[in-house]
Amino acid sequence: MNRIVLATLATVLIYGTTCMAAVGYDDVNKDVHNDSSEPAYGFRILLEGVHDVIWHFDGYPDGWRFDNFDSRVVVEGDGRRTTVLQWSQPLNPAGEPEPIPPCTWVHIGYRLMTQADIGEVCWTDESGGCIADEGYIRQPTQTIDLIDGVYVLTIKNALRDGLPLSIGVVGYRLSPGALRLDELNRRNPTLNPSVAGNYTPFPGAEGVIVLDSGESRSFEIPIVPGTTTPTTTLIICKKNKNFVDISQHVPGPRDGDGPTLTQWGLIIMVLALLTVGAVVIARRRRVAA
């Protein structure tokens, strides 16, 4: 009987570990440059809709960074709901409080379970407002879908300022497994866009593309059969004069797709325990008889 229980528990743990790793998510890491003439006291990203931030990265421990992160849902006057990501309380490389000087790079990142439109990105001043003009960082929205064995990257200008957007799509690479959020940066020698061969160009997206307000363009990446596994992730690099984005798309069920594999793991656990209980009861009845 003890062997049955131990075997069942081992099976449940194996299923649980596999299921936890199989839920899909998106990591977005940004090297952002303070192009303004003012010191920045924070950094803000506005996402359209409601999204849960399940992990965030606030800067290299040995570089300029932020000591505080906050994510909140804001209901606007027209009833639209947005998710505001706010980094604040900047620290210098020595760990002392100091605003981010002009011409300084900072690395930040976040993880979402759902893909999101980016409405606004900016450095913030001491009062928490966006620094005007060069304090705005004009970044595109990207979504990724896997359709019939083909990755489809869609890049969209969802910014609220209504202006055209120029963006350089460096390329993509496939990774055998998901990287940690804090590994997804230019310090990783395999992800540095300055190193030749790190990324494969997107067909049709070479050089700089320009998107009008609200415009989107899609690019396909045919996957060669046998070159990927269920754990393969897609890493994409984009850049402009004041940012470098390295993002990671981890395949798997998302919120709203029905039971995720994590939830199936819980279902399997319950069924396994019910089976063990039924066996124990049946044996006790035979012994009692």
Sheet holding 243-250, edge to edge: 53-57, 105-112, 25-33, 243-250, 233-240, 165-175, 208-211
Residue 280 scores a pLDDT above 80: no
Domain of residue 286 covers: 1-23+254-289
The total domain count for the chain is: 2
Among residues of the chain, what percentage have pLDDT more than 90? 60
Q: Bigger pLDDT: 53 or 229?
A: 53
- Domain identity same for 8 and 127: no
Q: What pLDDT is recorded for position 6?
A: 44
Residue 136 scores a pLDDT above 80: yes
- Domain identity same for 107 and 34: yes
Which residues fall within 8 angstroms of residue 194, CB to CB, at 6 or more apart? 186
Q: What pLDDT is recorded for position 235?
A: 94
Average pLDDT, the chain: 84
- Domain identity same for 171 and 285: no
- Domain identity same for 9 and 104: no
- Domain identity same for 50 and 5: no
C-alpha to C-alpha distance for 39 and 102, rounded to whole angstroms: 6
Torsion of CA 200, 191, 174, 172, to 10 degrees: -40
Strands 150-156 and 118-124, sheet pairing? unpaired
- Domain identity same for 168 and 237: yes
C-alpha to C-alpha distance for 72 and 56, rounded to whole angstroms: 14
- Domain identity same for 141 and 228: yes
- Domain identity same for 263 and 239: no
- Domain identity same for 265 and 214: no
Q: Is 191 within 8 Å of 244 (Cβ atoms)?
A: no
- Domain identity same for 235 and 285: no
pLDDT band at 54; cut points 50, 70, 90: very high
Residue 133 scores a pLDDT above 70: yes
pLDDT band at 287; cut points 50, 70, 90: low
- Domain identity same for 289 and 178: no
- Domain identity same for 19 and 30: no
